Structure formats: C-alpha cells, structure tokens
Amino acid sequence: MSSLTTQIIRVLDCYEGRDGAITLTLYFCCLLSGFYPADSNLHLSLQRIFKRLEDCRVVLRLYDDITILRDFFTYELRPGERNWIVRCLKLLHYIAWLGYYPSEHISWLGEMNLINVDPEFWEFLTNFFWATALITSALWNAYVVLQYRSQKNLSKEKKEEEKKSLIPWTAARNAMLATIRDGTEFMVAVNNLPQGYLWSSTLTYTQVGMFGTCSAFLRLFALFKYAA
C-alpha cells in the first residue's frame, strides 16, 4: 500500500500527472452525465464540473508555449531522423502544437472580453491544431509499431547487421499505447470542430467521455509505469 501511495504522490507531484488526473476527472464526469436526462440536476452539475475543469486545464497550459518551443528546437538540433516519414510527421506534430497554444490563449482572452477578437474563430483554430497534433502523433507511433512487426521477418544475419537500428519491444509497446491514446483523443478533438468536419458535433456526452477517459487513463498509466 505504501508503494502504491508513493507512486501516486510521484505522479501527482509532476505537471503531467496533475494534468492527467484533472483530464481523467473531467472526462469521467462527462461520461457519467451522458447517463442522465439533459434537463436533470445531476447532468447539469456534472457538466458544470466538466466545464470548470476544462477552464482549469487552460490556465495550467498558459506557459506551455515555452516548453513546446524547447521540444521543437531540441528535436531539430538532434542528429537527423533516419526515417523521413517519422521525421515529417514529428515536424508537423510540433508545428501543430506551436500553433495550438497561442490560439488557445487568444481564444481564452477573447471569451473573457479582455481582447477584441472573434472567440469562435480562434476556438476553431485551437481545435484544428489540436486534432492535427494528435493525428500526426498517432500516425508516427502506428508506423513505429508496423516497423517493429516487419523487422520480425528479417533473417538473423540482417538483424545482426542492423542491430543498432532495430526497435526494441518496450519502444514498440509504448508506441502502440500512444497510438491508442492519441487516436481516442483525436475523436474528441474532431468532435469539437464546427459541423461539417468528419464526425464533428455528432458524438454524445457518453461517447466524448468514453474516448477522453480512455486517453487520459493511458497517459496516467504511462506515468505510473515510469514512476514504478
């Protein structure tokens, strides 16, 4: 029990852990709200919690621009990615996040009437960049999983020759979990776009909560594995 408590404290003591816990809570509230009539007090209360925790996450992300800039330039300054498909997807992924954070800040300030902008337009950009960042991450991780599966068919001689470039099982496992994690969150991101984009504005509260809860759970699961 003490070991589990220590792991929980370690996870909640870091930024990613707190963000993951808040995300799991808000989507779980959304999931529960879908089981009650839209005009019931419990549904409305759960939706209010969902909205307030969403606002909390926006505030937590106010200074994430600096972090994503660091990650972008750190990736750019590293030795070149061997696989050009993964490299292109990662570049698009970082560029999408670079667009996401300023858009979200401007939308947030516009909603509070602190600056004179169209909040709906900036909210659209925020969700567009969010969906783009998620799908590029899901695709590159899925490609890593496919590479891992294909290398199993290599001969022993070929495996020995390319030993340094072979993908280990742990990396393939993490990539598989990341594909599911970002894929389920992508479902939510597209749903937040205006009507006319794929399945936008068509998911129920239960479906949004289910996809969001799954994604948040996998994020926390990865952090617990790291903290163990």
pLDDT 10s digits, 146-156? 988 888 776 66
Examine the domain organization and report whether 67 and 152 are in the same domain: yes
Decide: helix, strand or coil at residue 30.
Answer: helix
pLDDT beyond 60 at 2: yes
CB within 8 Å of 207: residues ≥ 6 apart: 34, 187
pLDDT in tens, 101-125: 999 999 988 988 889 999 899 999 9
pLDDT of residue 157: 66
Same domain, 143 and 189: yes
Are both 47 and 101 inside the same structural domain?
A: no
Rounded Cα distance between 133 and 123, Å, is 15
If asked whether residues 2 and 74 sit together in one domain, one would say: no
Tell me, yes or no, whether 55 and 86 share the same domain.
no
- Please tell me the pTM assigned to this model: 0.89
Q: Taking 90 as the threshold, does the pLDDT of residue 202 lie above it?
A: yes
66 plus 172 within the same structural domain: yes
pLDDT at 158 over 70: no
116 in a domain, yes or no? yes
- Using CA atoms, how far apart are residues 67 and 61, in angstroms rounded to an integer? 10
Long-range contacts, stretch 95-100, CB < 8 angstroms, 24+ apart: 96/129, 96/130, 96/132, 96/133, 96/136, 97/68, 97/72, 97/129, 97/133, 98/65, 98/68, 98/69, 98/72, 99/125, 99/129, 100/126, 100/129, 100/130, 100/133
Could you tell me where the beta strands, DSSP code E, fall in the chain? none
Is residue 129 in some structural domain?
yes
Nearest to 108 by CA among 159, 65, 149: 65
In a domain, 199, yes or no: no
pLDDT at residue 224, as a whole number: 84
Q: In which domain, by residue range, is 40 found?
A: 1-60+204-228
Contact 29, 209 (CB under 8 A): yes
pLDDT at 150: 84
- For the chain, the average pLDDT equals 88
**Closest of 187, 101, 204 to residue 138, by C-alpha:** 187
Contact 118, 109 (CB under 8 A): no
Q: 112 with 178, same domain? A: yes
Residue 220 or residue 82, greater confidence: 220
Residue 189 located in a structural domain: yes
The reply to whether 19 and 53 lie within a common domain is yes
Q: Mind listing the pLDDT tens digit for each residue in 39-61?
A: 999 999 999 999 999 999 998 88
pLDDT band at 161 (very low <50, low <70, confident <90, very high): low
Q: How many domains does the chain have?
A: 2
Structural domain contains residue 198: no
